[in-house]
Amino acid sequence: MKKTLSKETEMEHILVCLSSSPSNERIVRTAIRMASVFGSQLTALYVKTPQSEKMSAEDRARLGANMRIAEEAGAEIVTTHGEDIPAQIAEYARLSGVTKIVIGIKNTGRKLPYFRPSLTERLIELVPGIDVHIIPDANTSRIYREKRRSLDKSVIPSWKDILITAGLLAAATGIGFLFRRFGFTEANIITVYLLCVLLTSVLTGGYTCGVIGSFLSVILFNYFFTEPRLSLRAYGSGYPVTFAIMLAASILTGTLASKLKAQAKLSARDAFRTKILFDTNRMLERAKDDSEILLITAAQLTKLLDLDAVVFAVKDGVLSSGTAFSKGESLEDGYRGNDKELAAVNWTLTNLKTSGAGTKVFKDAEYLYMPIRSGEYVYGILGISASAGEPDALENSILQSVLGECVLALENHRNAKGREEAAVLAKNEKLRSDLLRSISHDLRTPLTSVSGNADTLIINGDMLDEETKKSLLSDIRDDADWLTGLVENLLSITRISDGSVALQLSDHVVDDVIAEAMQHIDRAGAEHVIEVTAAKEPILARMDARLMIQVIVNLVNNAVKYTEKGSHITVSSGRTDDKAFIRVADDGPGIPDGLKDRVFEMFFTGDNRIGDSRRSLGLGLPLCRSIVEAHGGELVLSDNTPKGCVFTFTLPISEVDLNE
Amino acid sequence: MNKPLILVVEDDKPVRNLITTTLKTNDYRYVFAENGSNAVMEAASHNPDIVLLDLGLPDMDGVDVIKKIRTWSTMPIIVISARSEDEEKIDALDAGADDYLTKPFSVGELLARIRVAQRRIQAPGNDASAQNPVFTNGDLKIDFAAGCAFMGGEELHLTPIEFKLLCLLANNAGRVLTHTFITQKIWGSSWDNDIASLRVFMATLRKKLETGSDSPQYIQTHIGVGYRMLRVEPREKEI
């Protein structure tokens, strides 16, 4: 036990972070070497940020090459989405049981204590329990880095933004002229310009327009409203200070506004995502089985991402036909897709990796296929249409979260099923031991009587008169009959309560089954009036005939046992729209309401006052009920008029195409 | 009439004793064998009228004994099986057995089965219909050539399938025919649907043959196994 535990903890899982940096190849190769030395699992993680969309073709190719190197070395390639790279790495590492992280460090030279900690520092902070191996970047990275900087900065405002900025500045200037005419002070005009910059920041994207607007507003103010007018010079000694404060104020206002805007957008997005996930979560919780969970997942995703999806259920590694979804509605049930799509699906199923559109495998497929799995166990394959282009970071994070929820729900289901089975097993175990105890006690009585009576006959046979001999012999026979009936019931019980109910279902004519059962009624029944009323038309019902005969025999024998001699017992059959029913009615004393439910309990025998009630295991009715329920029917007890009781049970009717 | 000779194949001594004692007290002659190879030998040397064969033999499968005997003889074989599993009985019947008994059985049941088998041997025209264009069994009369059947002189209105079924049962009167055997003969296939159809046709056919509650039983249903046409004694009724 200890050994396996320690072995498990020794299992290393190395995570290497991919990037488009030229030095990343060295990092990946180092990680591969480490993995082979430790004999450990290797995962290559790429965190996709919104900025990665703007990656140059060169960078993209380099990233692809690095990914291939990792993949060829047997690494699992994982892409996550998010803006906070260290947080993403840390989260993945925690969830996947990573033990070592290999990451490159940007060799930025001696840098002033910066107010934001570097990526590596933050990562170490976030995952204190994981070894972080840092590989320094070579010098070449500086050029790369600078290039990337400039790329980031090239946020050119759109024409629309420029027009808005220009319009707002013009409006501010116009208002400024008005103010001057009314003789308001310059401070009012400055406020108008500040308002203009604020509006610009709110109405345009990015910082650019806000900053440009700030400068322009200072210049415009200087040009139009300070002495001398219509020149960029200013006579007043206080003006340079005014301009500086105005510039600082407007830049600050602008940045704050656009930050606020970004924040609002982010929180709105988060709220939307949270709501979606909450809804999905609730729906998944309510799902009854695995296939429903898969269908809900696919339906929610199509609704959320507004694209088509298809989901294939996988049971024990075997793919079943898929269901296609569009806008939350299921389109077709037995979706199969063409051969190319199916090849991609099957590849995903066997390799447990994403395939199809947008990946390297089957890239010309129409869908992107992802396995829905936990560990090695695959529950299904989800395909999302790539016709609308690759999903962006938000969509991707939604996709990942919903898939995560889906897997969680599926796992919960599987665990619940396991627990349920264990409970049933335990219950069966208890029943079985109760049964054994009860049987071993009850078997002794008839066996004692059989062997004792036989002994008497062998030893003292000569001394007994014919009548005594006969009564001893008929006792032996009765006991043997009773044992036979018991054995039949026990056999049925083992078949029913073995957990896997091995019903041999076939379509039988109900009256044939009744007729057969009537031949197995106890001899004691000869003193009762037993009538069988046949149905007008032959009724076919799906059943295990042996077990059903047992049910009828038990019910009739019960009626015989618990009613006076000469009572009437009627066995009849009939049908409703979709059910066949068999009814066993007697005109005996009936069963009081308080006991009606208890008669179906195991080992309940009632207080039998009629005839010789010496033995009853109290197995008959519970067994009947479990047999009938295993057939999808129900066994109910009601009162007969004017007295007595009626046991009625239903069976699913089967329609048959007669082969004329 | 000569007392019929019965071969009893049973390895369990108490049960064998029970059977042989029953036979003796009911005026049958018998020989017995304790295992399969002896059974085949006894069957060959004594050429018994009826064989009572237990399926659970120590040396070989009872079904193989049936197959061996069937290579040279059509003597009625009644199979005795301990388990109530239908599969075993069906296998034996398909291998050529005529009838079966399930342990525990009563003495009365055993004797009834033997009588049924006896009637099969004695009944005229128990084989091919080509030699006997008209089949009679109690009040039932089938004219194979004309394609019609009569009950007590009145023509029965049968559908083509029902008539085919009736002929099949009549040609094998006394034998239990399995569902598979019948559906194969009638439809050439034995899907679930065929067997379900067969059950419905049999139920309606029986209703047409057995109109009153006092009319003798012509067709016997063996749940989970098959059907059999019983030989009905011409005048006297028997339960």
> CB A421: neighbour CB atoms within 10 A?
11
Predicted confidence band of residue A304 (pLDDT cuts 50, 70, 90): confident
Of the residues B85, B187, B199, the best mutation for testing chain A's interface (the one with the most A CB atoms within 10 Å of its CB) is: B199
| Chain A residue with the nearest C-alpha to that of B221 | A512
The sign of the dihedral angle between the CA atoms of B7, B13, B16, B20 is positive
Tell me the pLDDT tens digit for each residue of A249-287.
878 877 787 778 777 877 877 777 777 778 888 888 888
Q: Closest CB to A657: pick one of B160, B193, B223.
A: B193
Give the DSSP letter of residue A329: E
**Largest interatomic CA distance in chain A:** 152
With contacts defined as CB-CB under 8 Å, which chain A residues touch B161?
659-660
**Largest interatomic CA distance in chain B:** 53
Q: Do B223 and A507 touch (CB under 8 A)?
A: no
Least confident of A199-213, A334-348, A600-614, B189-203: A600-614
CB of A531 within 8 Å of a chain B CB? The answer is: no
Q: Do A507 and B86 touch (CB under 8 A)?
A: no
**Residue A340 vs residues A325, A367, A384: alpha-carbon distances, Å:** 19, 10, 15
Least confident of A136-140, A178-182, A405-409, B24-28: A136-140
How confident is the model at residue B177, as a pLDDT? 92
How confident is the model at residue A611, as a pLDDT? 43
- Separation CA B155–CA B42 (nearest Å): 47
CB of B44 within 8 Å of a chain A CB? The answer is: no
φ and ψ of B227, to 5 deg = -135, 160
Domains of chain A: 10-153 (3.40.50.620), 159-266 (no CATH), 287-391 (3.30.450.40), 392-494 (1.10.287.130), 503-652 (3.30.565.10)
| Residues of chain B below pLDDT 50 | 126-130, 235-239
Shortest distance between the Cα of A608 and any Cα of chain B, in A, equals 29
Return the structure tokens found at A412.
């919960």
How confident is the model at residue B31, as a pLDDT? 93
How confident is the model at residue A149, as a pLDDT? 47
Q: What is the DSSP string of chain B?
A: -PPPEEEEE-S-HHHHHHHHHHHHHTT-EEEEESSHHHHHHHHHHH--SEEEEESB-SSSBHHHHHHHHHTT----EEEEESS--HHHHHHHHHHT--EEEESS--HHHHHHHHHHHHHHHHSTT-S-TTT-SEEEETTEEEETTTTEEEETTEEP---HHHHHHHHHHHHTTTSEEEHHHHHHHHHS---HHHHHHHHHHHHHHHHHH--STTSPP-EEEETTTEEEEPPPPSSS---
Predicted confidence band of residue A331 (pLDDT cuts 50, 70, 90): low
- CB burial string A81-95: b at 16+ within 10 A, e below: bbeebbebbbebbee
Nearest CA to B49 out of B116, B112, B141 is that of: B116
With contacts defined as CB-CB under 8 Å, which chain A residues touch B82?
none
CB of B161 within 8 Å of a chain A CB? The answer is: yes
With contacts defined as CB-CB under 8 Å, which chain B residues touch A515?
221
Domains of chain B: 5-122 (3.40.50.2300), 134-229 (1.10.10.10)
Q: Do B84 and A511 touch (CB under 8 A)?
A: no
With contact defined as beta carbons under 8 Å apart, do B105 and B89 qualify?
Answer: no
Shortest distance between the Cα of A463 and any Cα of chain B, in A, equals 24
How confident is the model at residue A364, as a pLDDT? 79
Chain A 543-582, residues with CB within 8 Å of chain B CB atoms: 545-546, 549
How confident is the model at residue A328, as a pLDDT? 62
Return the structure tokens found at A121.
């520092």
With contacts defined as CB-CB under 8 Å, which chain B residues touch A509?
199-200, 202-203, 221
What are B220's strand-pairing partners? B228
Round the average pLDDT of chain B to a whole number and report it: 84
How confident is the model at residue A232, as a pLDDT? 77
> What average pLDDT does the segment A499-512 reach?
76
With contacts defined as CB-CB under 8 Å, which chain B residues touch A513?
223
| This prediction's pTM | 0.52
Q: Closest CB to B197: pick one of A511, A515, A659.
A: A659
Tell me the pLDDT tens digit for each residue of A565-610.
888 999 999 988 888 999 999 988 888 887 777 777 766 666 554 4
Q: Closest CB to A538: pick one of B86, B200, B223.
A: B200
Predicted confidence band of residue A1 (pLDDT cuts 50, 70, 90): very low
Q: Closest CB to A659: pick one of B104, B194, B224.
A: B194
Q: Do A538 and B192 touch (CB under 8 A)?
A: no
With contact defined as beta carbons under 8 Å apart, do B192 and B182 qualify?
Answer: no
Q: Do A506 and B197 touch (CB under 8 A)?
A: no
**Residue A366 clears pLDDT 90, i.e. is over it:** no
Residues of chain A with pLDDT > 90, as a percent, come to 3
Name the pairing type of β-strands B5-9 and B50-54.
parallel
Question: Which residue pairs from A623-626 have beta carbons closer than 8 angstroms and sit at least 24 positions apart in sequence?
Answer: A623/A489, A623/A492, A623/A493, A623/A496, A623/A550, A623/A551, A623/A554, A624/A550, A624/A551, A624/A554, A624/A555, A624/A649, A625/A600, A626/A496, A626/A497
> What average pLDDT does the segment A231-242 reach?
77
Tell me the pLDDT tens digit for each residue of A65-96.
888 888 777 777 777 766 678 887 887 787 77
Burial class (CB in 10 A: 0-12, 13-18, 19+), A150: exposed
How confident is the model at residue A584, as a pLDDT? 92
CB of B107 within 8 Å of a chain A CB? The answer is: no
- Separation CA A428–CA A431 (nearest Å): 5
Between A239 and A604, the more confident residue is A239
Round the average pLDDT of chain A to a whole number and report it: 78
With contact defined as beta carbons under 8 Å apart, do A509 and A539 qualify?
Answer: yes
Cβ neighbors of B220 (< 8 A, separation 6 or more) are B176, B227, B228, B229, B230
CB of B14 within 8 Å of a chain A CB? The answer is: no
Q: Closest CB to B196: pick one of A484, A504, A654.
A: A654
With contact defined as beta carbons under 8 Å apart, do B125 and B40 qualify?
Answer: no
How confident is the model at residue A155, as a pLDDT? 63
| Chain A residue with the nearest C-alpha to that of B87 | A504
Name the pairing type of β-strands B154-155 and B148-151.
antiparallel
CB of B196 within 8 Å of a chain A CB? The answer is: yes
> What average pLDDT does the segment A196-217 reach?
80
CB of B195 within 8 Å of a chain A CB? The answer is: yes
CB of A451 within 8 Å of a chain B CB? The answer is: no
Nearest CA to A187 out of A253, A238, A230 is that of: A238
